[in-house]
Chains A and B, each alone.
Chain A
Amino acid sequence: MASTPSSSVTTLAVQRTLAGRGPDWRGTIFALLLLGSIVATLAILVTLLADQFVRGWPVYQERALDFLTSPLSSNPAKAGIGQGIVGTIMLGILVSIFCFPLGILTAVYLEEYAPENRLTRFININIRNLAGVPSIVYGLLGLTVFVAAFAALGFPNNGRNIMAGALTMTALILPIVIITSAEALRAVPRTLREGGYGVGASRWQVTRKLVLPAARSGILTGTILALARALGETAPLLLAGAILGTFSSPGGLESLLTGPYTVLPMTVYDWSRKPQEEFRELASAAIMALLVITLFFNTLAILLRNRYQKQW
């Protein structure tokens, strides 16, 4: 029994059988294929980023501050992304105000309050389907509902203002916020709630003092990801009133809210359609700014999630 493995003929035979029939070519090829697909994805991402950097960086070297603050112009030597940056920041703020409370309240209702009935199931299915509606269809909603409503209320510029755009984006990311928040709430263990009820807390007290704080980081991750999506989205705003082309912004909060507006992705789209080579360089430079903003929020969300993962 105590003999070393090499001394036993039986052990040798068993070892040889367990080790298999020589080198595993099929397995090696398959593993290489898997690795190849990952590397291909990575290579595409690196090529994309490097391509933008190579084309766009000279613009920043030449006129960094000027490019970041100048308004749109048909002259590529003067055109900048100032209006796009202001619009994107405004849009982000407005969407956060409109969407996050609404989305989180809905998630709380569905997870904590809703009775198990047909209506709740219908709302749930409805939200899941909304999440899969193509973004440009939300543009139709923005045009016929939000822009039309602002126009009917007598707002200038035919109702094509950033509030209509933000409401459209709110409709677009609302399902994402609801679904991710609901998942975070569902991850909170039952025992926490039961403990709360056991000491006589009401449903609202349990929700506010126990469940929401416990789900906070998950909810935050979802909302930040949704915000990043809204800031990078272009298609709905084509219909919901963002300006494609040049315009003048007189400044002041009122014109910011009710005047013509554009956002960074719109500027990228506008410039990418222009035939002059100079505008392609500007487009790459604008893309760099856009990526800095959206990837900042994406990275923030990923870091948040990794940090708070597996609490329970």
Chain B
Amino acid sequence: MATTTASGVQSTLAGSPGRRRRESLIGRFFFLAALVSVVITAFIIFTVFEQAVEFLLAIDLSQLVAAGWFPRRGLFDIATLLIGSLIVTGIAMLIAAPIGILSAIYLAEYASQRVRGIVKPILEILAGIPSVVLGFFALTFISPNVVQAINPSATGFNLMAAAIAVGVLTIPLVATISEDSMKAVPLALREASYGLGARKVTTATRVVVPAAISGIVASLILGISRAIGETMVVAIAAGASGGSLRSWDPFAPGQTMTAAMAALATGSDQVTGDSAAFQSLFFVGLVLFVLTMLLNVAGDVFVRRVRQTY
């Protein structure tokens, strides 16, 4: 008697077979949607990898080390592009790291609710400005008014102007992630600090910042990743679209990995005939993809460490 009731209740709770079938169909449909993003990743990795390997097989490997990056002349010196990316990313982070972190401390520790309500949207507006706009700004404003004011011998197109604009573009990202991690620091830590008689500045720099350090590091790593991947600013402001000699001079025109890809893409009509130059696009893409992926994974590890602590 009791068992029949139990099984009766169970079957009632499980619902009619029709309803169960419908439910499982819906679930499977959603699963298919979720698989699309996996398929996209697979396509990216597969196509980029395949063409990059074809490129490496097609050229003489000694072509990868040359005096510069001139794809149409068969000189594929990847070091030129890596140095360009390093210069741009380095200078960009010299701007974005201090301004971003200090802004984050201000927003998390100092700003009143009202000021926060004004400043936060401004950062978000800055984050929403298309990079092509900042590229144009770098070329027409930063280069003549800032870079050439510092170094009059700088050319109109130069890596420095591009790097400054990339730094501006990275500020909101660094500030947002850093601020989130500082906000996650429990109030009790601050109260304990004040209870010991510490001042606000001491509490912020000696208690909150160390407690939020993994989030701050994550913001910097993700900022670096963002700066390396930035394309339009460098493509517009750094010049050297035909190619560039290996150089460490930030006040001269130069190319980054992304700008070299943009240059190959915009000349793609001419390039398609020359298969090695066209495929070098995928080789550079692969290097860029792997680099940013490593940075993102590293950043992710730090972000999750914040979540685990508190």
Contact = CB atoms under 8 A, between A and B. Distances in A.
A302 interface: yes
Contact of A238 (B30, B117, B265): B265
21 contacts: A27-B199, A31-B200, A34-B102, A37-B98, A41-B123, A44-B168, A45-B122, A45-B129, A48-B134, A105-B34, A126-B37, A129-B297, A130-B40, A138-B44, A139-B265, A144-B47, A175-B37, A265-B132, A272-B132, A287-B133, A294-B129
B189 interface: no
Could you say which of B34, B171, B199, B288 has the most chain A C-beta atoms within 10 Å of its C-beta? B34
B98 A302 contact: no
A34 B34 contact: no
Given A45-B122, A235-B232, A298-B128, A137 B48 contact: yes
Interface in A224-251: 225, 228-229, 231-235, 238-239, 244
B65 interface: no
A51 B133 CA distance: 11
Chain A binding site: helix, strand, loop or mixed by DSSP?
helix
B248 interface: no
Interface string B118-152: 01011111101111111111011100000000000
A238 B262 contact: yes
Given A137-B288, A140-B281, A239-B265, A269 B232 contact: yes
A27 B200 contact: yes
Interface residues of A, number: 86
Interface stretch (A6-14, A72-80, A106-114): A106-114
B125 A298 contact: yes
A132 B228 contact: no
A135 interface: yes
A27 B124 contact: no
Interface of B: 15, 19, 22-23, 26-27, 29-31, 33-38, 40-41, 43-44, 47-48, 51, 98-99, 102-103, 105-106, 110, 117, 119, 121-126, 128-137, 139-141, 168, 171, 199-201, 204-205, 222, 225, 228-232, 235-236, 258, 261-262, 265-266, 268, 281-282, 285, 288-289, 292-293, 295-297, 299-300
A26 interface: yes
A304 B19 CA distance: 37
Nearest to A239: B265
A5 interface: no
A145 B133 contact: no
Given A48-B133, A137-B288, A132 B34 contact: no
A86 to B, nearest CB: 18
Contacts of A244: 266
Contacts of A295: 125, 128-129
B223 to A, nearest CB: 11
A33 B23 contact: no
Nearest to B267: A244
Interface in A113-144: 113-114, 122-123, 125-130, 132-141, 144
Interface of A: 20, 24, 26-27, 30-31, 33-38, 40-42, 44-45, 47-48, 51-52, 55, 102, 105-106, 108-110, 113-114, 122-123, 125-130, 132-141, 144-145, 171, 174-175, 178, 202-204, 225, 228-229, 231-235, 238-239, 244, 265, 268-269, 272-273, 280, 283-284, 287, 290-291, 294-295, 297-299, 302, 306
Contacts of B38: 122-123, 126
A296 to B, nearest CB: 10
Contacts of A232: 128-133
Contacts of A294: 128-130
A47 B141 contact: yes
B141 to A, nearest CB: 5
B259 to A, nearest CB: 9
B34 A137 contact: no
Contacts of A20: 199
A145 B43 contact: yes
A134 B286 CA distance: 11
Contacts of B168: 44
A37 B229 contact: no
A269 B43 contact: no
Contact of A287 (B23, B27, B30, B136): B136
Given A133-B229, A238-B266, A239-B281, 16 more contacts: A31-B201, A38-B102, A40-B99, A41-B126, A44-B168, A51-B141, A108-B30, A114-B34, A132-B293, A136-B288, A145-B43, A229-B128, A235-B131, A244-B266, A272-B236, A298-B124
Contacts of A140: 44, 47-48, 281-282, 285
Given A37-B98, A41-B103, A137-B48, A204 B133 contact: no
Contact of B37 (A48, A127, A238, A273): A127
A234 B133 CA distance: 10
Nearest to A203: B23
B262 A45 contact: no
Given A27-B200, A102-B33, A203-B27, A133 B132 contact: no
A127 to B, nearest CB: 5
A207 to B, nearest CB: 9
A198 to B, nearest CB: 12
B267 to A, nearest CB: 10
B102 A37 contact: yes
B93 to A, nearest CB: 15
